[in-house]
Every structure is written in structure tokens, then in C-alpha cells.
Structure 1
């Protein structure tokens, strides 16, 4: 459906974003990138490595805000390409359905999901990718792990803000032993 609204022109400045973050929940998408075999079985899960604001190395899932007047599907593709590269080739269905919805709070302990910057609501999706992937922008590494490796407590411990919880939920959703 064509539209006259250009999402890029609706982006907020840093000051505007900080003001809005303090007043209303922000909408996010989280993607668990996976590689599947010919029968649709997941054989690997992609985890990004980033340096946190405090300098700690952390694993995380692909995530980002949904822009004003942007379809969820388009936001997923944009963030997957932003973090995994333009040749990632995500297979997002035409009508994506989230596996779960996570509510992130700036106050720790309200839910397992914490974001000190804001109250955010994130729709979480498992997205197969078939192309060549490489860490982009501020991602330092992209590791493809088997579902068993991804569910290892050491890997989950490297994931902050509740991303480890989301990864466990995604693996359970996929029927992987966790």
C-alpha cells in the first residue's frame, strides 16, 4: 500500500528521543537470526558481540526501534540488514507474527527485561537468514552457534537486559532442547 509519509523524515533528534523516552513506551523489534536446513530445522543461531556503555563485552540479539509509519516487516528487514549486512537475505514472512512480546523497564526487576534508557515494548521474531552475514556498525563479531551452544549458561550469562531470556524462549519455541 503506497503512502505519502517518508519514515526517515519522521525520525527524532537525540534531544527529542530522550524526551519521548521519558514519557511513553517505545516500540522495538527483536530478531533471533537463524540458519535452517532443507527440512526447516534450525542448525545455528546468530549472536552479535558488542561492547556495552560500560566497556563490557556482551552478546545480544538483533534489535531496534520501529520508525513512525514503518511496517513491522520493514523494521525487521532494516535492523537485520543494519546488523548483519546487506547480503544477509532475511526471510521475513509477509505477515510476521511475534513469538512473544517483551516489556523492558528502566527499573531493574519489574520484568526480566531491563533497558536503563526507557520503557520499551519489543515484539520478538525468529527470522531465517540465507545470505552472507558479517557484523556491521557497532557489532564486533557475529557468532553462529548450534542451538545447544546458544543455550549454554555461559553464553546466556553474556547477554544482558533480558536477551538471554528471549533467546531461551526462542529456542523453546523452535523445539530445541534448552
Structure 2
């Protein structure tokens, strides 16, 4: 919904310029031309509601501005937004209006697509003006017909100011919105946006839980394979090392056993490293999903101060070092046996 400031646009670079000089700023429109445009065609806009969420991710508080009222003298509470300039993307328009109204505020828009669309009409051209409840489906704007793409803005703690058309900015519980003096249509916009956000979050949360279960199973499998690999390898290596180190065994048998032990050590190192890296990736993704679902995080690395000095050591590194030693021993046995020194 285009705001009051856009009824009489002003280009900061035109101070002292001849009124007949063409507009210099991108997207800037002469007042008379802007009024003519509003009379003849719908205006594309973006609208958004800043939100704060509870621990479950549900919208708990919404932010509204107090602004002037084209319907009368009393100021009204309203969502934020304004028109989209020619050549401007939706995301850029959202960021521009957020910065113009609340300079310094950190507001992010996580969804690329709007949650809902809203239509705004002057009373005299409202398609439902003959119906018992003419504003059941539309918002009212006495200045123009507008079509707005509506979003929620994730509000982060930050130092900000109130500027532009906003006289004040305050937070309200979602359940209290109906008791406020709102811009006509704002209540419907807020209600629909919050409901659509809840539905999308529910669907997203369900999908995340499915992904979480699959990832948790895969992480458990990788963790099992990380330690299953050296266990099985050691059993085979113990047999091979018995042959490689036996003076009674034939030279060829000792060389073959030592060579197989070397190959087995390298394969074990590669498998342990691969499964360990895959496990780390899965745990990082699990921790991210836990944060998004507002769950207790179980897959972050433990703080070192909670473990003993010996417990802080990475077991995987110790095991890989042991297999490197076994590989070097195999090389030494091959050299000594082949040279006739073993």
C-alpha cells in the first residue's frame, strides 16, 4: 500500500531546481504525474509486518507504526510498506521501506514469495461496495487502487530510529491487534499474514522433522562405521602381523602378509576419515535443524571444560595415528625381509 509520503514525492537532489526540469532520481515521479497514475491504474506495493517469535517459532508480537490518517484527523496504527519502483525487485522494495521507516533496524525477509496478497480500493470503486460487508475481502485506501505483496519481517534486536511517515513504533501481542485503532484493512492483512505464516511454519516444521529423522539415522550409521572399520581391520591385521613377524614363515609369505597389512592400513585410514567427515557434516545439519525447530541442541560439540584432559583428546586422531604406525611397521618389515635382514 503506497503511503502518504508518496502522494507528494520529493527528490532530495532537486532542491532549488527549476520545477520544469525532468526528475533526476530513479523512481521519482512528479506530483501531478503520480496523481494521474493513481487515478488510471493499480499500484504495485509491498507490505510487511515486523514480528518476534516465541520459543516454538510462533509469532508472538507484531510491530506497528503510528501514522497520519487520510480518513480523518486521528492517527492510526498500521503495518509497514509502500510502492515498488520501476526496475526495483520485491526484496529491494522491502528493504528500502524498512530502512526508510525504521533506520538502523535489522529486519530480514526469509521468504522469497509473499505469504498473501492484499487488494486496496477507494470506496467508490470497491467491487463489493453493494454487498452487506463491502470490506470483508479488501482493504480501504481513499487515494488509489493498490495490489500489495505481503510478508513478515524477522526483527532482530538493534538500535533503530523512527522516521518517514511513522510517528511511533510499538510491539503488540497478536491477540490484542483487534482492539487497536487500525488503518482500514490492516487488521485483515495482519490476521491473514500471521495465519499464513503459521501454516507455512507448520508445514516447514513437519518437513524438517522428517529430514531430522533421516539425518539422525544416517549420522548414527556413520558413527557406527567410524568405529566398526578399525575393529574389523585390527582383527585382520593381527593375523597378518603374526605371519609377517614370524621367523618360521617363508620370506614370500612374510612379504605378502606385510604388503596386505600396509594396504589394509591405508584403506582403514581412508574409510575412517570419510565416515568421520560425513558424521561431522550430518551433525552440523542436525544442529541447524534443532535451532530452527527451537529444540534443545544435542549435536553441537561439547565444551572442552566439561571433559577431563584425557577425555578432550580426539579418539579418531589417536586411532588414525595408530594405523599410520602399523603402515610404517609394514613398510619396515617389507624392507628388512626383502633385504635379508629380518
Task: Report the TM-score range of the alignment, normalised by the length of the smaller protein.
Answer: 0.7 to 0.9
Q: 1:120 aligns with which of 142, 146, 162?
A: 146
Q: Which has the higher helix share?
A: 2
Tell me the residue number matched to 1:44: 61
Q: Distance in 2 between matches of 1:48 and 1:70?
A: 24
Tell me the residue number matched to 1:163: 186
Q: 1:97 aligns with which of 113, 118, 122?
A: 113
1:15 matches 2:32: yes
Other structure's SS at 2:193 match: helix
Tell me the residue number matched to 1:3: none
Q: List alignment gaps of at least 5 residues for structure 2.
A: 1-23, 129-136, 200-342
Tell me the residue number matched to 1:74: 92
RMSD: 2.1
Q: Distance in 1 between matches of 2:84 and 2:94?
A: 8
Contact 2:63 2:170 (C-alpha < 8 Å) held by counterparts: yes
TM-score (norm 1): 0.82
Q: Distance in 2 between matches of 1:43 and 1:113?
A: 24
Q: Distance in 2 between matches of 1:49 and 1:101?
A: 23
Shift of 1:39: 5.2
Other structure's SS at 1:90 match: strand
Contact 1:34 1:43 (C-alpha < 8 Å) held by counterparts: yes
Instruction: Tell which deviates more after alignment, 57-66 or 164-173.
Output: 164-173
Q: Distance in 1 between matches of 2:119 and 2:30?
A: 24
Shift of 1:37: 4.9
Other structure's SS at 1:140 match: strand
Shift of 1:38: 6.0
Q: 2:44 aligns with which of 9, 20, 27?
A: 27
Q: CA separation of 1:132/1:41 partners in 2, compared to 1, >3 Å: closer, same or farther?
A: farther
Q: Distance in 2 between matches of 1:70 and 1:38?
A: 35
1:56 matches 2:74: yes
Instruction: Tell which deviates more after alignment, 125-134 or 62-71.
Output: 125-134
Q: Distance in 2 between matches of 1:23 and 1:119?
A: 9
TM-score (norm 2): 0.45
Contact 1:49 1:58 (C-alpha < 8 Å) held by counterparts: yes
Q: Deviations over 1:37-81 (max 9, x none)?
A: 565333321011112132112000002000000000000011111
Tell me the residue number matched to 2:123: 107
Contact 1:112 1:161 (C-alpha < 8 Å) held by counterparts: no
Other structure's SS at 2:194 match: helix
Tell me the residue number matched to 2:169: 142
Query: Based on CA coordinates, which of the two structures has the bigger radius of gyration?
Result: 2
Report which structure shows greater RCO (CA 8 Å, sep ≥6).
1
Contact 1:134 1:142 (C-alpha < 8 Å) held by counterparts: no
Shift of 1:149: 2.5
Count of aligned residue pairs for this structure pair = 164
Q: Distance in 2 between matches of 1:140 and 1:79?
A: 15
Q: Distance in 1 between matches of 2:117 and 2:142?
A: 18
Q: Distance in 2 between matches of 1:165 and 1:39?
A: 24
